[in-house]
């Protein structure tokens, strides 16, 4: 593999000298190697954090005017928008997702930079209603050096959510992308430099999560950790972060219910379910992985769903006609297979799919799969992170709500009904951080994104995300009578 291109870490405004240890990035659609990246060792991680702390304290970005940060981020957005095709090609190759999906998703990503740039530009302080002849001013300041651990399923989108908020607030950012899909993130360094971001303000380091990611999150000089990943990873990081008093934002797993009521046209309900369930081959935290269908339309719905699911086009991700691309690796195929096997053992009925397939004799693909099962089955209660979907017959609205709330996850949920009163009533009762009515996967930089229960802590997007990358400083001005607790005689008196 010596002829593979190598993309090293982006540190202090340039690609650093290549590490001695490297890892190979694989195209999941055909199992071909794409490139190598650094497997960053512990000592290098600590050195990068130390350099980043110096950069933050010296203040070329942390003390920059809000208007200057605005200008840099808006220019970065413009540069990114002009280069979307390059990033689409990389994202397709490293994730195996269909090009039609990636073109649609990446076209919107510059909006995140523009939104957070706008927040930085209009951020205002406050004066509190302090009692007495006192003025209390509040200002928001950047935290310091922040670490961001990003996933492989939406590499550029999720990274930009975090990077945009953190940079807008004035922080120095260290990003550790997933070892499975780091290439598009490593490409961002030069883009931000061209936009005018000071060297050392955005550091991008690659490596295995169990090593490089762990080394980064163990460093006591961090001021925040922002992670998108699984619950096990969060728990491992949280135990160390708590010892160092480092706050964490964590966007974790999900088991999103798609709640379908009788007022919905069956054809529309099926289209909605396909979109909710099979975007990214089911590899998103808000995949509509539980179809909760009212019994009045259940049979018609399931019959049409089977036909439409079987007709989905599995193929090469580079083909614009492909609707279902690859899953990320062999382990993902094995996980999907295991979920199908256990569902059958528990009495579930495979309505369509259920097997691994290949497109050209190689690659990691899994058929879009629908399994009729109970609400308490392993499939219904646990995250697959693949195209294996549970469909559940529900007798009434109350049962749909109870099942929707019946897992340890509470990230996203969608409600499909033409009854406005019902939509409002059900949305109020569903326990999830994001509830869509007659929609799914809808996202916007202004809309807070995050869940409850085991789905995470804190928010991406919105003012909430921006403010989570700041600390509030309170300055109290006394312009009235000075305090007179002790007179001079008492203050100078000797005791004992």
* Cβ neighbours of residue 122 closer than 8 Å, sequence gap 6 or more: none
Decide if pLDDT at 366 tops 90: yes
Is 251 a residue of the active site? yes
User: Can you tell me which residue has the tokens 């523009």?
Assistant: 114
Rounded to 5°, the CA angle 223-229-233 comes to: 75
pLDDT for 496 beyond 60: no
Give the model confidence (pLDDT) of 146-169 as tens digits.
999 999 999 999 999 999 999 999
Residue 234 confidence class, pLDDT cut points 50, 70, 90? very high
pLDDT for the residue numbered 368: 98
pLDDT > 60? residue 493: no
pLDDT surpassing 80 at residue 357: yes
The Cβ of residue 243 has, within 10 Å, a number of other Cβ atoms equal to 10
Residue 96: per-residue pLDDT = 97
Three-class HEC string of 76-91: HHHHHHHCHHHHHHHH
Q: Are 101 and 92 in contact (CB under 8 A)?
A: no
Alpha-carbon gap, residue 74 to 114, rounded angstroms: 5
Q: What is the pLDDT of residues 447-475, one digit of tens each?
A: 999 999 999 999 999 999 999 999 999 99
* CA-CA-CA-CA torsion sign (295, 301, 305, 306): positive
Dist CA 222 CA 118 (whole Å): 26
CB-based burial label for 466 (10 Å; 0-12, 13-18, 19+): buried
pLDDT at 483: 74
Give all domains of the chain, ordered by start, each with its CATH number.
6-252+455-476 (3.40.605.10), 257-437 (3.40.309.10)
Burial of 12 (0-12, 13-18, 19+ CB in 10 A): middle
What integer pLDDT is reported at residue 261 of this predicted model?
98
Largest CA distance in the chain: 94
Q: Residue 243: what pLDDT?
A: 93
**pLDDT over 60 at 490, yes or no:** no
Give dist(CA 171, CA 63) in Å, integer.
10
The 10s digit of each residue's pLDDT in 258-311 is 999 999 999 999 999 999 999 999 999 999 999 999 999 999 999 999 999 999
Predicted confidence band of residue 418 (pLDDT cuts 50, 70, 90):
very high
| pLDDT beyond 70 at 211 | yes
Beta pairing, strands 248-251 & 456-457: antiparallel
pLDDT digits (tens, 9 = 90+) for 310-334: 999 999 999 999 999 999 999 999 9
pLDDT, tens digit, 9 for 90 and up, residues 7-21: 999 999 999 999 999
Task: Characterize 94-130 residue by residue with b for buried, 16 or more Cβ atoms within 10 angstroms of its Cβ, and e for exposed.
Answer: bbbbbbbbbeebbeebbbbbbbbbbbbbebeeeeeee
Percent of the chain residues topping a pLDDT of 90: 95
Confidence of residue 82 (pLDDT cuts 50, 70, 90): very high
Is 145 strand, coil or helix?
strand
Helices (H), 201-319: 214-217, 231-243, 266-278, 295-310
Give the tens place of pLDDT for each residue, 102-127.
Answer: 999 999 999 999 999 999 999 999 99
**The predicted structure's pLDDT at residue 486:** 72
User: What confidence tier does 481 reach under pLDDT thresholds 50, 70, 90?
Assistant: confident
How much is the pLDDT for 484? Answer: 73
Stretch (H or E) spanning 400: helix 397-404
276-295 exposure pattern, b = at least 16 Cβ within 10 A, e = fewer:
bbbbbbbbbbbbbbbbbbbe
Say which residues have a Cβ less than 8 Å from residue 347's Cβ, sequence separation at least 6: 373, 374, 377
Least Cα distance to 202 among 60, 307, 335, 326 occurs for 60
Helices (H) and strands (E) in the chain, counts: 18, 25
DSSP letter for 280, please. Answer: G
Identified catalytic residue from 91, 251, 383, 454: 251
Closest CA to 460 of 126, 94, 115, 53: 115
The answer to whether 309 and 288 have CB atoms below 8 angstroms apart is no
What is residue 67's predicted lDDT score, i.e. its pLDDT? Answer: 97
pLDDT surpasses 80 at 1: no
DSSP symbol at 369: E
> Mind giving me the DSSP string for 320-332?
TT--B---SSHHH
Contacts of 141 (CB under 8 A, 6+ apart): 170, 470, 471, 472, 473
């Amino acid at each position: 593999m010596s002829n593979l291109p190598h993309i090293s870490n982006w540190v202090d405004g340039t690609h650093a000298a290549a590490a001695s240890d490297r890892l190979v990035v694989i195209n999941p659609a055909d199992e071909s190697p794409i490139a190598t990246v650094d497997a960053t060792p512990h000592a290098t991680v600590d050195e990068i954090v130390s350099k980043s702390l110096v950069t933050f304290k010296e203040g070329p970005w942390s003390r920059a005017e809000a208007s200057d940060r605005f200008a840099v981020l808006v220019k970065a957005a413009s540069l990114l928008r002009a280069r979307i095709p390059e990033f689409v090609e990389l994202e397709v190759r490293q994730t195996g997702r269909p090009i039609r999906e990636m073109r649609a998703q990446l076209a919107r990503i510059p909006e995140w930079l523009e939104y957070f740039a706008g927040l930085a530009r209009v951020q205002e302080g406050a004066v509190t209603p302090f009692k007495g002849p006192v003025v209390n001013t509040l200002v928001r300041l950047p935290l310091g050096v922040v670490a961001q651990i990003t996933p492989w399923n939406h590499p550029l989108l999720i990274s930009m959510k975090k990077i945009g908020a953190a940079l807008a607030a004035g922080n120095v950012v260290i990003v550790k992308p997933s070892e499975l899909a780091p290439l598009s993130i490593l490409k961002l360094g030069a883009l931000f430099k061209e936009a005018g971001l000071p060297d050392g303000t955005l550091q991008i380091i690659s490596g295995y999560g169990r090593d490089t990611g762990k080394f980064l999150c163990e460093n006591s000089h961090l001021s925040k950790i922002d992670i998108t990943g699984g619950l096990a990873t969060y728990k491992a990081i949280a135990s160390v972060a708590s010892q160092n008093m480092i706050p964490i934002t964590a966007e974790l797993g999900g088991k999103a219910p798609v709640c379908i009521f009788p007022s919905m046209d069956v054809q529309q309900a099926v289209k909605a379910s396909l979109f909710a369930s099979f975007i990214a081959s089911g590899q998103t935290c808000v995949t509509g992985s539980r179809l909760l269908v009212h019994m009045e339309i259940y049979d018609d719905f399931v019959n049409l769903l089977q036909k439409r699911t079987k007709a989905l086009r599995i193929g090469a991700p580079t083909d614009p006609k492909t609707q279902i691309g690859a899953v990320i690796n062999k382990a993902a195929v094995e996980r999907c297979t295991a979920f199908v096997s256990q569902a059958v053992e528990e009495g579930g009925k495979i309505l369509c799919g259920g097997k691994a397939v290949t497109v050209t004799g190689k690659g990691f693909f899994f058929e879009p799969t629908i399994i009729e099962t109970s609400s308490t089955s392993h499939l219904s209660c646990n995250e697959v992170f693949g195209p294996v979907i549970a469909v559940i017959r529900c007798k009434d609205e109350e049962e749909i709500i109870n099942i929707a709330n019946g897992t340890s996850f509470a990230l996203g949920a969608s409600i499909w009904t033409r009854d406005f009163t019902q939509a409002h009533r059900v949305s109020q009762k569903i326990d999830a951080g994001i509830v869509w009515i007659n929609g799914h996967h809808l996202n916007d930089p202004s809309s807070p994104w995050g869940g409850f229960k085991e789905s995470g802590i804190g928010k991406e997007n919105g003012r909430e995300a921006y403010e989570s990358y700041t600390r509030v400083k309170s300055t109290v001005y006394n312009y009235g009578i000075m305090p007179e607790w002790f007179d001079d005689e008492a203050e100078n008196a000797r005791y004992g």
